[in-house]
A and B are shown apart, each in its own frame.
Chain A
């Protein structure tokens, strides 16, 4: 090596230059805000909005109120249903794509991604147009004689559910697809050769091996479905309230920051619990996020 170059073998400069910015960003804009919101949730609501720095548990006691408890339980129920439907619809679909030859599969995945580049709110608006009182769905139902008068689909929980499912299904399919794709044919053949019925092979080989993908799908649908307010705002018309809407309102018109913070902490705890369960049977590093 050229003896003229001044290169310290243990120079820390490249490390700081490369890992520094991302570390700083994450600490400044993720760690500190997260700690601060936990802190705020234990503070008192200011008289004119804002926060008074007197510790209290009022916000958490408010959450136990029947009104809020009902909203929380309803949000949880809707998120569970959304996740379950996404898994049930998504798994066979992901399986179908994953078993295709690689070039066909990558094209099918591309076909799945294109609708995601359409503005998500406009896609929700399209569902509203379809389910209008005088929209095509109602017209078809009337023409078929299935209903006597138009059904009010708009601003109901059913339409919100449809919006949630169609919105999150792609994000359930993608991780399950990568999991199923990694599945080796040899495993399935071995199971069949050893005399297992297809259903046994599925339950005892395919399902356990694709478990990380399934759980990634749960995390990527359940948590966003629990926290959304745009879908519920658009399709629920603001009449149907979920956790997300309530959090948002605390920082808008109602101005009760500590309560909004406490609800956020609740969502954080649910997220942490799910991640903890996930880490019990798969490495977080292996989580498929795209």
Chain B
């Protein structure tokens, strides 16, 4: 084999590390440039966002004078839908994730397949097929139909997230709990739920973010009178986005990032607490066995 000067090898590795970091920075720039531009234009001193006219914070003030009714109404509408869809999706997703992992029943394969449909099929197809059903049966479009639509693509993600969190030793813990005299409901609330809590939180966060940012389902399944915030943005885009929309979405990102940090913190606390409890009980068991 050809011997290589070690110095040259180190130099080459350094250079390749530099170029790969440089490449990653460019890709990150591709993701962050639009976000930064969006934030920049929330400070734009112009009626509508076409070009940069100068710096002002007035739009944030105007936002909180609540003069733009449409914007706030759309936001509240979106938030209610997102919260309701998240609660429904997480409840059904947690039960389903556990049930589909634990039980064997006829048609289980089919349900598992169906769960992948909303994930892989284009959203427009899902939305349109639900729209046809609702129109044919005569269900009035509105908040209810949007919630159903959002749940339909949130539930599969919730199920997948929860399933991934259920480990093998879950069964042993549940059996131990039942042997010690707890009934099914107690076992569910005190053993199963705490052990998959981080998964439940991830599922909730994911469902909320999917719902609040959804355009296609919300657009197709909405009534003509009220639309969600993303649908409002889509329709306003033709005439030009007003900077207060940028201000509002900027604040929403900040809230989301903060929410994510809090969730991470809680998840880590739960994991640490569980690790501590396991260590303690192991210590107790080993103490018991050495005394006995």
Contact = CB atoms under 8 A, between A and B. Distances in A.
Interface of A: 1-2, 5, 14-15, 17-23, 25-27, 29-34, 36-37, 40, 89, 92-93, 96-97, 108, 110-127, 129-130, 132, 134-135, 166, 169-170, 219-220, 223-224, 226-230, 233-234, 244, 247-248, 251, 257, 260-261, 264, 267-268, 271, 274-275, 284-285, 287, 289-290
Contacts of A226: 122
Contact of A289 (B160, B181, B260): B160
B59 interface: no
B96 A19 contact: yes
B117 interface: yes
Describe A's contact surface by its main secondary structure: helix
Interface in B241-267: 241, 245-246, 249, 252-253, 256-257, 260
B112 to A, nearest CB: 8
A135 B51 contact: yes
B95 A248 contact: no
B248 to A, nearest CB: 9
Contacts of B129: 33-34, 36-37, 264
Given A29-B148, A118-B249, A284-B116, A247 B128 contact: yes
Nearest to B111: A23
Q: Which 3 A-B pairs have the closest CB atoms?
A: A227-B122, A18-B99, A22-B96
Interface in B189-248: 206, 209, 213, 215-216, 219-220, 229-230, 233-234, 237, 241, 245-246
A122 B114 contact: no
Describe B's contact surface by its main secondary structure: helix
Contacts of B131: 251
Given A21-B92, A33-B129, A96-B24, A126 B152 contact: no
Given A18-B95, A22-B92, A37-B128, A30 B256 contact: no
Contacts of A116: 209
A289 B157 contact: yes
| Residue from the set B107, B118, B125, B209 with the largest chain A CB neighbour count within 10 Å | B125
A26 B122 contact: no
Contact of B215 (A19, A33, A111, A121): A121
Contact of B105 (A15, A29, A289): A15
Given A126-B37, A219-B120, A224-B123, A112 B31 contact: yes
Given A21-B96, A33-B129, A127-B34, A223 B121 contact: yes
A268 B125 contact: yes
Contact of B233 (A23, A93, A119): A119
B108 interface: yes
A5 B181 CA distance: 10
Given A18-B99, A224-B123, A261 B151 contact: no
Contacts of B103: 14-15, 18-19
B85 interface: no
Contacts of A224: 122-123
B49 A25 contact: no
A122 B245 contact: yes
A128 to B, nearest CB: 8
A223 B95 contact: no
Contacts of B216: 229-230
B24 A97 contact: yes
B35 interface: yes
Contact of B95 (A21, A32, A251): A21
B152 A30 contact: yes
Contact of A261 (B132, B152, B155): B132
Given A22-B95, A267-B125, 12 more contacts: A5-B183, A17-B95, A19-B96, A21-B92, A23-B111, A29-B130, A37-B128, A111-B28, A114-B35, A117-B253, A129-B49, A251-B131
